[in-house]
Chain A
């Protein structure tokens, strides 16, 4: 096991109460991720991908075992510390984009920086930089409703990247996109991964995504069945 790992999961079990019994969503997971990985948790629907990603993202806690994220054990974090960890080090990309409809593209991307209390001049710089990464500088003043699905997902990538987090977690980011847009955003993320050494972890069952991955962790019924490193 690699002690310098960014994310370190040991003997992780996650169960959900289901009526009187318990449902085991994740069983005995042992995984490590290091800085700069471009990896994916792959498996059929219901295999536990989102649950695992949520635990890594400190949005949920393990039932047994531990997940250390950037040196912090997620089970030990109280809700405030977890929020601070997410605030500083984690970026999220969702299947449904989760853009705030009443805000402009600029404001949507700006939100994480507001929480970090970054001064407005600096904020503007960072937002513009991030929108440049995803190629949306001409849509600053648009509202999400005026954008295509692909553009929305690019805004959400910009929002995840704006604070240059160490880890970006992307849950089925292409599920609502056509092939062309899927490739565009994957290439964007691949570039960012190369340029900024950001760790990307996907949860997906989309072949288009899988072909970009450099590491593919296969999940079935809550268990890791394969962990392959793919030479690019």
Chain B
């Protein structure tokens, strides 16, 4: 009997091929969008962590209150000790010091007069020490478009776009005008040894990257820095783990009444991303619910049409003496087969296309000229564990639900009635 029914299913394309196709397409869309949304938010978290907040970040209390303005006059002191303590307490994590600053970059001509000038956003990071992790965290080496990495003090990288705007060539010197930690104006000469492109709109528009010691010297920030960023070993943000660390750290400083005392925060709080992430999660959820509904209705109708087409078959099977429950169940099993087959095909297609997006990406920098967020310029999908099964939920549910709904009509009718409807 099972073989008989399977044969029927396989031979009747209206019952197998088309429903499977419909399910596969729906599942494909679901899987792909799921991976896409995961990718967008994964990228967002990742780049926010790398460029802005770390997974956790230590600042002075005063600095943290105006962190957007990078108020280096409120920077953290005694950072060697704080960093050493953190490294000792969390040896698995990576702790890096950073100074962010604003200023003007001035390119002089041979006579020392200004040739070109522009506002810059600067980042002082550890570039020169042999065990520096920043090169990996910020992916600096791979982001160098022209020239090379700084190798000695006084060498800097500037964003490629800025280099073109200012007309500065490699090896030329550039003067940074900014204010020290204590508020006085200062000038410092650097040599531009490379240009970078991070694929991050904010950074690419006008950033300079200098070694943190140079910046500390230039800004008069001896043993001080704006921020200490902590990263988990696997470089993947874990909100619960971050919360534990933040809690423990802040408890230690609870009694200290000093606006320059260090305070720690975690990525989600520091970045305003939590709203986006919730939105993303809701969005995925809503997408899947909508999909299940639409597909159920589509498949219900397909099922109804199929059911109408199959009234003859069903009526006949009942007349021959098959139990109603058996007929109904065999239709449900059929739909499970169709749902599974469609879901597997759809998931494979979804994974394939998501993988493509994950590996090759989709460059949207052209669309993002005016966006200031730490938004990646290349859209990427991210295949997670969920991606593998998320399609099965709607794929299976909608087929089975659709069949169950359309089958109820058959189940409830008097057998004789099925023939009556068949005749008309």
Residues of A participating in the B interface, judged by any CB pair closer than 8 Å: 51, 54, 57, 59-60, 79-80, 83-88, 90, 92, 94-96, 98, 100, 102-103, 107, 110-112, 114-115, 159
Q: Which residue of A lies closest to B311 (CB)?
A: A98
Known contacts A84-B321, A92-B320; decide if A115 and B313 are in contact (CB<8 Å). no
Q: Is the CB of B416 within 8 A of A60?
A: yes
Can you name the residue of chain A whose Cβ is closest to the Cβ of B417?
A60
Contacts of B316 in A (CB 8 A): 92, 98, 100
Chain B residue at smallest Cβ distance from A58: B415
| Residue from A51, A83, A95, A96 within 8 A of B322 (CB atoms) | A83
User: If the complex has contacts A100-B8, A114-B4, are A59 and B323 also in contact, measured as CB distance less than 8 A?
Assistant: no
Contact between A54 and B416 (Cβ–Cβ < 8 Å)? Answer: yes
Q: Which chain A residue shows the least CB distance to B13?
A: A102
Contact pattern, B 381-402, Cβ under 8 Å of A = 1, otherwise 0: 0000000000000000000000
CA distance A112 to B422 in the complex (A): 21
B residues with CB within 8 A of A: 1, 4, 7-8, 11-12, 312-313, 315-325, 414-416, 419, 422-423
Cβ-closest chain A residue relative to B11: A102
| Chain B residues with CB under 8 A of A111 | 4, 317, 320
Q: Which residues of A contact B12 (CB under 8 A)?
A: 102
- From residue A145, how far is it (CB to closest CB) to chain B in Å? 12
Residues of chain A contacted by B415 (CB below 8 angstroms): 59-60
A112 & B321 in contact (Cβ 8 Å cutoff): yes
Partner of B323, one of A80, A90, A102, A110: A80
Say whether, besides A59-B414, A59-B416, A60-B416, A96 and B423 are in contact (CB < 8 Å). yes
Q: Across the interface, do B319 and A57 meet the contact criterion of CB distance under 8 Å?
A: yes
Listed residue (B313, B318, B321, B415) with the most chain A CB atoms within 10 angstroms of its CB: B321
Q: Which residues of B contact A87 (CB under 8 A)?
A: 320-322
Q: With A59-B414, A59-B416, A96-B422 in contact, is A102–B8 under 8 Å at CB?
A: yes
Q: Which residues of A contact B423 (CB under 8 A)?
A: 95-96
**Roughly how many angstroms separate A94 CA and B4 CA in the complex, as a whole number?**
22
Return chain A residues, CB-CB under 8 Å to B8. Answer: 100, 102-103
Looking across the interface, which residue of chain A has its beta carbon closest to that of B15?
A102
Contact, CB under 8 Å: A83 / B318: yes
A90 to B205, CA, bound (A): 85
Q: What separation, in Å, do the CA atoms of A112 and B415 have in the docked complex?
A: 17
Beyond contacts A59-B415, A102-B7: 9 other A-B pairs, Cβ-Cβ < 8 A, are A59-B414, A85-B321, A92-B316, A96-B422, A102-B12, A111-B317, A114-B1, A115-B1, A159-B320
Chain A residues, CB < 8 A from B315: 98
| Contact yes or no, B321 A103, CB < 8 A | no
Evaluate contact between B323 and A79: CB separation under 8 angstroms. Answer: yes
Whether A86 lies near B7 (C-beta < 8 A) is no
What are 6 A-to-B residue pairs whose CB atoms are below 8 Å? Answer: A60-B415, A84-B321, A86-B319, A92-B319, A115-B321, A115-B322
Q: Is the CB of A112 within 8 A of B320?
A: yes
Assembly CA distance A113 to B127 (angstroms): 82
Q: Is the CB of A86 within 8 A of B416?
A: no
- B418's nearest neighbour on chain A, judged by CB, is A59
Shortest C-beta distance, A161 to chain B (Å), equals 13
Question: Quick one: closest B residue to A112, CB to CB?
Answer: B320
Q: How far is the CA of A102 from the CA of B323 in the complex (A)?
A: 21
> What chain B residues lie within 8 Å of A107 (beta carbons)?
4, 7
Q: Nearest CB to that of A103 among chain B residues?
A: B8
- State A102–B9 Cα separation when bound (angstroms): 9
**CA gap between A83 and B325 in the complex, in Å:** 11
Closest 9 CB pairs of A and B: A87-B321, A86-B321, A60-B416, A102-B11, A54-B416, A59-B416, A59-B415, A98-B316, A102-B12
